Structure 1
Amino acid sequence: MTAAPAPVSSTAAGALSAFLRGVERRALVVAELQCGDPTVAEQALVAVMRAFAGIASDLPMAQWPERFWSLLVHRAPLREPTAGHWPAPLEHLAGLTPPARLAFVLRIGGGLDEAAAAQILDLPMADYQHALADACPRDAHGNPDAAGWRALAEQVQLRIRDLPASRLQRLQQPVAAPTSQQPDAASWRTPARPDAPAQRRPVKRQRGRRFPWKGVLIVAVTVGVLLGGAAWWKHARQAGAPLADTPEGAVADAGPVKVEALPTDDLPTVAPTASPFAASDAAMLADPDLPTARDADLYAWFAAGGPVPVDESQAQPSRPEPATAGLETAAADE
């Protein structure tokens, strides 16, 4: 049972068609040299192309080569080929076991490197290299024949290059013949078209967007709860902080201070005591020369011939008189 091609875009369909055109020539030669029957090889390749077209749209393009060759080499006619026929230049392939022959044609005909070919065949690298060694021609002494290997590789490349175009055209045949009730059958490469365009559901136009009162209310309530909790926590911390931080023996009451008048009845009466200096102070205060004694520093300065103080209530000269001017005048007057 073959997979039907899935609907793909025109770009993907073009990429798929270009990929198959680029790989079909080598793939046909690989299938033919592996099974030894051109008809069986064409049938196997057509089945692989149909299956690949059905899954290609689900794969990245970078995985297309690996998946295509994996589908081809796992076909029964290639895994377990029956008796076939090989031309004279390639008679060496008839004497190889199917695994060794498949390893050879995939490496030379498919143009794959050893790592990619081993991964496609699900073989470890050592097993794949061992299969290639079994496929290598031997000389008379049983040693690998490098010239024989190059000759086989040249014959395979020549067969790929000279492949008739008619055989490639047969690979593009439609899946089934057209009938009166069906449209013309296109090639299986053409992506399938949907039977009818999907009916689009009418899109309801949204009316003017209403203000999200519910969301705003939820946000407001949440903010109010948070603010209330923060205020309560702050008040609780302030109320409990003095009790926790008060040292032992200290007053922790933070209430208002009460003021009360103390009773004066029980206060003791203290008699005023006379100062021992009261008599001497009274004699000094009664002395008539006390004002002169209080200005003794002024008279001492005047007797020493000090300068006369400047009267700051009047305008001052730009150049002040020297300090010795008054002394000289006083000396001259004498």
Structure 2
Amino acid sequence: MTAAPAPLSPAAANALSAFLRGVERRALVVAELQVGDAGLAERAVAVAMRAFVGHAADLQMADWPARFWGLLCSTPQLLAPPAGGHWPEQVAHLQVLAPAERLAMLLRIGVGMDEPAAAAVLGVEVDAYRQALAGACPRDAEGYPDANGWRQLAEDVQARIRDLSQPRLQQLEQLRESVISGVLPTKPAPAPALTFQDDRRRPAPRRRQREPWRLRTWLLLCVPLLLLAVVAVWWWRSHAPAAANTGNGVSDTGPVQVEELPDDSTPLAPGEDAHAAADAAMLADPRLALARDADFLAWYAAGGPLPVDESQPQPSRPEPAGAALETVDAEN
């Protein structure tokens, strides 16, 4: 039984989740094309992810890719895939290859590793890895390496990685989350006997019996307080107004007495004018005539033209313009 990894810190969990999200598609497609079985490929990827998360905290982030692919390629499903695998027609060339040659080729065209890195992942020398690639290379009709066949095979593998179905993507996401959180896949529910024993031990009846006691306690506390408040209001209404109005006559309810007050105003004598003295002084002032003609004198001092005497009757028709000109010439 595989042990669950220890809980991770938030920073480590985020870093591991980002790394696994970047490699999970390629890992699943490479494993499936290596073994020819989708179920075996999924189990191999799950084993590699759990093993990687358990040791990733002790490694530098630069070493994570080599560690992960090394764990995936070392799983029994990829090292010795069982017979009876199935490969699509576009990548049928992989079916005729030996497992070691097929894995070497998939690391190159599926993962994109260079020769030294792929050799380190497989644990072989670079020359041995090159020989495996040479044996996996497609051949033309004359037995020579087929560059176009190699290129077409690489494009088909990349298309399968890019066009992975949505259900498989969701499955990878669930696997990644379970690995990061340290939670194994859900197990069957416990036996019914345990559930029955747990139900018998629940103190449910006690909780139901406590509710009436709580309500009764609140009533016993609130009723005396309400009675005390009512008594206090009644006492305040019956005593507070009388004490406040003592001695000011407001509380006297006797009949209202009406008394006529004397008139203090002294009316003026008939024919007497209150402003007569002031008017007499103004009329006796010798400058009254000048004050009445103040507007005319101000206009005259300013040198304005003589105003038209509108008191005299005006001609019904204006004089011809020539008459005025002749008068001016005559005067000159």
Bin for the TM-score computed over the shorter chain = 0.5 to 0.7
- Indicate conservation of the 8 Å contact 2:12/2:57, yes or no: yes
- Name the residue aligned to 1:103: 104
Shift of 1:165: 2.5
Shift of 1:110: 1.1
CA distance in 1 between counterparts of 2:178 and 2:126 reads: 39
1:190 maps onto 2:181 in alignment: yes
In percent, how many aligned pairs have the same letter? 60
- Indicate conservation of the 8 Å contact 1:13/1:191, yes or no: no
Deviations 1:85-129 (A, max 9, x none): 000010000000000000000111111111100010011111100
- Indicate conservation of the 8 Å contact 1:30/1:109, yes or no: yes
1:52 maps onto 2:52 in alignment: yes
- Indicate conservation of the 8 Å contact 1:6/1:57, yes or no: no
Structure 2 letter corresponding to 1:39: G
Structure 2 letter corresponding to 1:80: A
Relative distance call for 1:167 and 1:127 in structure 2 (3 A) is same
Map 1:18-57; keep pairs closer than 5 Å: 18-57=18-57
Any gaps of 5 or more consecutive residues in structure 2?
184-332
- Indicate conservation of the 8 Å contact 2:105/2:136, yes or no: yes
Shift of 1:80: 0.3
Deviations 1:192-236 (A, max 9, x none): 7xxxxxxxxxxxxxxxxxxxxxxxxxxxxxxxxxxxxxxxxxxxx
- Indicate conservation of the 8 Å contact 1:2/1:51, yes or no: no
Note the aligned Cα RMSD (angstroms).
1.6
- Name the residue aligned to 2:238: none
Map 1:144-155; keep pairs closer than 5 Å: 144-155=145-156
- Indicate conservation of the 8 Å contact 1:6/1:53, yes or no: no
TM-score (norm 2): 0.53
CA distance in 1 between counterparts of 2:75 and 2:139 reads: 30
CA distance in 2 between counterparts of 1:191 and 1:77 reads: 24
Which structure has the highest helix share of the two? 2
Q: How many residues align?
A: 182
Shift of 1:6: 2.2
Any gaps of 5 or more consecutive residues in structure 1?
176-185, 193-334
Relative distance call for 1:174 and 1:124 in structure 2 (3 A) is closer
Structure 2 letter corresponding to 1:165: Q
1:76 maps onto 2:76 in alignment: yes
CA distance in 2 between counterparts of 1:132 and 1:148 reads: 14
- Indicate conservation of the 8 Å contact 1:29/1:160, yes or no: yes
- Indicate conservation of the 8 Å contact 1:5/1:191, yes or no: yes
CA distance in 2 between counterparts of 1:100 and 1:3 reads: 33
- Indicate conservation of the 8 Å contact 2:70/2:121, yes or no: yes
